[in-house]
Amino acid sequence: MATAAAHRTARADGTADADAAAYEAVFDAAVAADERIEPRDWMPDAYRATLIRQIAQHAHSEIIGMQPEANWITRAPSLRRKAILMAKVQDEAGHGLYLYSAAETLGTSRDELLDKLHTGRQKYSSIFNYPTLTWADVGAIGWLVDGAAITNQVPLCRCSYGPYARAMVRICKEESFHQRQGYELLLALSRGTPEQHAMAQDAVDRWWWPSLMMFGPPDDESAHSAQSMAWKIKRHSNDELRQRFVDICVPQAESLGLTLPDPQLRWNEERVHYDFGPIDWTEFWEVLKGNGPCNEQRITQRRRAHDEGAWVREAAAAYAAKHSDGTRAADGHAGTVGGASAHQAGENGEA
């Protein structure tokens, strides 16, 4: 069994002509032993590419996900609700930053990733292409969308790639606050006036099925799943995680006094899980292809926010250059630190 020390030794001994198979064996042994792969360790090109794709998509989802909710900040019904929502939307910006940083450890740059997002070459979660029509949507997103995200992300805290796993630990703590604020918001509406109850029910009706789609296509149609599980990037299959989410949500819906919009939902004594109805995968693929209700609006807003933040990035880079000792400016990293938050500058939700 390879130890972390042996892993490092193999790396340190490596020369340009070293046998790739030997490196691969060390990598495989480290993954098998549940050790973390770190940025300077040798890793297969496909492992690196898979991680960049997944972490980038995750980062993009965090910052695009700010839009549907920021849409309600100015119309939150009380100061308390406004403060909670602002904190949540800011958390999502922070999640984007941790994740872009994790992706950068794999040898890509934030500018490159943002450019791929803006030109449609990398995706974000299709859930954020749905509109937030009423205040209750803020609750439904917190309860269901953040809830689904937690179900997906808790196992990622044990992902084989160290920087991603460590980012997820912090993100998951904040996501659980997001889920609870959504649940609490829906509970208040559900116990409110008949109109408020109806608004909460309508939001849950609209967000339930898209939330189930967040776990990705069924296992037998999931292109990357098997390899990602072998590399321990993913710990559970899409269908496994989806089932876990359904099992958690059913009793929570009951205590909320709301109904999940699925007539086939029932407890299966034999499976010891809830059975649920078929998912409309045609809708999922359509939204993914760019034909969801808000795809165009989201990306237009993102590009505009990026353009409007250009002066902040320039100012941050100039400031960093002025205060650097010369070495940082020379190696091209000047402004990266200051520029980090500047990337989100101008992000203020839907017009």
Report if residue 146 touches Fe ion, rule: CB under 5 A.
yes
Report if residue 262 touches Fe ion, rule: CB under 5 A.
no
- DSSP H or E segment with residue 193: none
Question: Can you tell me the distance from the alpha carbon of 55 to that of 228, in angstroms, rounded to the nearest whole number?
Answer: 13
Interface stretch with Fe ion, choices 155-163, 168-176, 199-207, 273-281 (CB under 5 A): 168-176
- Which CB sits closer to Fe ion, 148 or 189? 148
Quote the least distance from Cβ 263 to Fe ion, whole Å. 30
Number of residues located near Fe ion, criterion CB under 5 A: 6
Report if residue 81 touches Fe ion, rule: CB under 5 A.
no
Quote the least distance from Cβ 63 to Fe ion, whole Å. 9
Report if residue 95 touches Fe ion, rule: CB under 5 A.
yes
The SS3 assignment for 266 reads: strand
Per-residue x/- track, 202-241, Fe ion (CB under 5 A): ----------------------------------------
Interface stretch with Fe ion, choices 133-141, 172-180, 284-292, 312-320 (CB under 5 A): 172-180
Interface stretch with Fe ion, choices 21-29, 39-47, 90-98, 223-231 (CB under 5 A): 90-98
Per-residue x/- track, 31-70, Fe ion (CB under 5 A): -------------------------------x--------
Question: Can you tell me the distance from the alpha carbon of 118 to that of 67, in angstroms, rounded to the nearest whole number?
Answer: 15
What would the two tokens of residue 183 be? 């649940």
Quote the least distance from Cβ 349 to Fe ion, whole Å. 15
Among 58, 60, 110, 178, binds Fe ion (CB under 5 A): 178
Interface stretch with Fe ion, choices 119-127, 174-182, 278-286, 339-347 (CB under 5 A): 174-182
Report if residue 347 touches Fe ion, rule: CB under 5 A.
no
- Which CB sits closer to Fe ion, 178 or 298? 178
- Residues forming the site for Fe ion (CB under 5 A): 62, 92, 95, 146, 175, 178
